[in-house]
Amino acid sequence: MEKYDLIIIGAGPSGLTAALYAGRAGYTMLMIEKTGPGGQIMLTDKIDNYPGFEDGISGFELQDKLYKQAVKFGLHMISDSVISIKKENDLFIVSTLTGKTFTSISVILSTGATHRLLGVQGESRLSGKGVSYCGTCDGPFYRNREVVIIGGGDTALTEALFIAKFAKKITIIHRKETFRAVSSLIKQTTSLPNISFIMNSVVTEITGENEVNGVVVNNIKTGAIETLKTDGVFVFVGLDPNTDFVDSSLLDKAKYIITNDKMETSVKGLFAAGDVRSETFRQIVCACSDGAKSAQYAGEFIDEQKGNSYQ
Ligand SMILES: Cc1cc2nc3c(=O)[nH]c(=O)nc-3n(C[C@H](O)[C@H](O)[C@H](O)COP(=O)(O)OP(=O)(O)OC[C@H]3O[C@@H](n4cnc5c(N)ncnc54)[C@H](O)[C@@H]3O)c2cc1C
């Protein structure tokens, strides 16, 4: 069994920043990531609110910079999915889907979150056949075509702005009277001529035989039901934390990990950072900040365990 000072699970902005700080401080570490580096930022075209890039930066480019910077300070990443963590005799035992087991003095959980499904008829059958959860990936397929976007938060409106570069017509359907998104995004989307809005409404079915051809829309105020013709449906209705393998005693009601200000969970030596944390502002800059703090306090914990405390 390979043994490390620190295992970081998840290579999104929080995990990569944790790796940068831990590597720079000289700790031995392993990062386990189930897809590739970047996490959710790989799903977004342009990031305008990460400090230091006055003209914005693409998700791919930011991922590339974060990853290379962490590698420079010793990041070693393997591709695998973590399925369990146990603590035995002061060591964490981390097991993966491919049957590997690693041990460490401390662990940082930076597994982020995954888009939520709408849960209506037609959605899973037509997923990849007109139903999408990533505007950056699939928006360009809808050049001069019509799409529906479901959702009313920052992600829905940000993605609408991107897809609007291609689509002839976008209809945003939101179940509330007003949007949850920040006012600058609302201003931008409402000013575009190819975006229209249906408020107080939910999509109850996505229709089409082999590809999407429409959505059934239910106005929850009036009860009116209409079928809207569309070529594609983008679903942005929130996130679920990636915590299936985390003990339920560490989670809040929505299954996010509870930590204190030092990113510590209730298990000594086990930290969490980024979107996977309970009650956090789910943004890249906050994920990076969490990553830095988790590495700092994990480092102090590792030093204590090794008897290296300099305080
Ligand atoms: C479409 C979109 C647009 C966005 N735009 C912006 C924006 O403009 N500005 C902004 O600040 N924020 C934006 N965000 C939010 C931002 O991307 C997140 O806040 C940020 O990525 C969170 O980073 P994280 O490291 O905590 O988690 P994530 O980015 O979710 O990364 C978690 C990583 O953990 C991995 N993982 C999960 N489970 C396991 C497991 N069991 N084993 C191994 N690996 C695992 C995942 O594969 C993933 O790579 C956007 C999000 C989306 C979806």
Q: End of a domain among 172, 206, 235? A: 235
Let me know whether 137 and 42 are in one domain. no
Let me know whether 79 and 37 are in one domain. yes
Let me know whether 111 and 256 are in one domain. yes
Residue 223: what pLDDT?
97
Could you list the active site residues?
134, 137-138
In a domain, 125, yes or no: no
For residue 251, pLDDT over 90 is answered with yes
Let me know whether 41 and 141 are in one domain. no
Let me know whether 249 and 106 are in one domain. yes
Question: Mean pLDDT of all residues in the chain?
Answer: 95
Let me know whether 110 and 8 are in one domain. yes
Residue 247: what pLDDT?
97
Residue 180: what pLDDT?
87
132 Cβ closer than 6 Å to some ligand 1 atom: no
Is residue 308 very low, low, confident or very high in pLDDT (cuts 50, 70, 90)?
Answer: low
Residue nearest to atom 49 of ligand 1 (CA): 39
Residue 259: what pLDDT?
98
Is residue 1 very low, low, confident or very high in pLDDT (cuts 50, 70, 90)?
Answer: confident
Buried b (16+ CB within 10 A) or exposed e, 226-243: eebebbbbbbbbebebbb
What's the average model confidence in pLDDT over 32-47? 90
Residue 247 to residue 305: CA distance in whole angstroms: 23
Residue nearest to atom 37 of ligand 1 (CA): 111
For residue 311, pLDDT over 70 is answered with no
Let me know whether 231 and 243 are in one domain. no
Let me know whether 231 and 282 are in one domain. no
Residue 5 to residue 96: CA distance in whole angstroms: 18
For residue 134, pLDDT over 90 is answered with no
Q: End of a domain among 212, 235, 258? A: 235
Ligand 1, residue 16: give the atom nearest the CA.
Answer: 25
100 Cβ closer than 6 Å to some ligand 1 atom: no
* 191: containing domain: 131-235
For residue 283, pLDDT over 50 is answered with yes
Residue 77: what pLDDT?
97
Number of folded domains in the chain?
Answer: 2
Query: Could you tell me whether strands 101-109 and 91-96 are parallel, antiparallel, or unpaired per DSSP bridges?
Result: antiparallel
In a domain, 11, yes or no: yes
Let me know whether 17 and 85 are in one domain. yes
241 Cβ closer than 6 Å to some ligand 1 atom: no
What's the average model confidence in pLDDT over 276-302? 95
In a domain, 156, yes or no: yes
What's the average model confidence in pLDDT over 143-150? 98
What's the average model confidence in pLDDT over 125-145? 90
Let me know whether 195 and 148 are in one domain. yes
Q: What is the CATH number of the domain that holds 106?
A: 3.50.50.60
- Sign, CA dihedral 49-195-159-280, equals positive
In a domain, 123, yes or no: no
Ligand 1, residue 43: give the atom nearest the CA.
Answer: 1
Residue 309: what pLDDT?
54
For residue 181, pLDDT over 60 is answered with yes
113 Cβ closer than 6 Å to some ligand 1 atom: yes
Let me know whether 110 and 248 are in one domain. yes
In a domain, 180, yes or no: yes
283 Cβ closer than 6 Å to some ligand 1 atom: yes
Give 103's strand partners: 3, 93
- pTM for the model: 0.84
8 A C-beta contact, residue 217 and residue 202? yes
For residue 269, pLDDT over 70 is answered with yes
Q: End of a domain among 202, 235, 268? A: 235
For residue 310, pLDDT over 80 is answered with no
Let me know whether 22 and 110 are in one domain. yes
Is residue 136 very low, low, confident or very high in pLDDT (cuts 50, 70, 90)?
Answer: confident
Q: At what angle do helices 154-163 and 183-190 cross, to 10 degrees?
A: 30
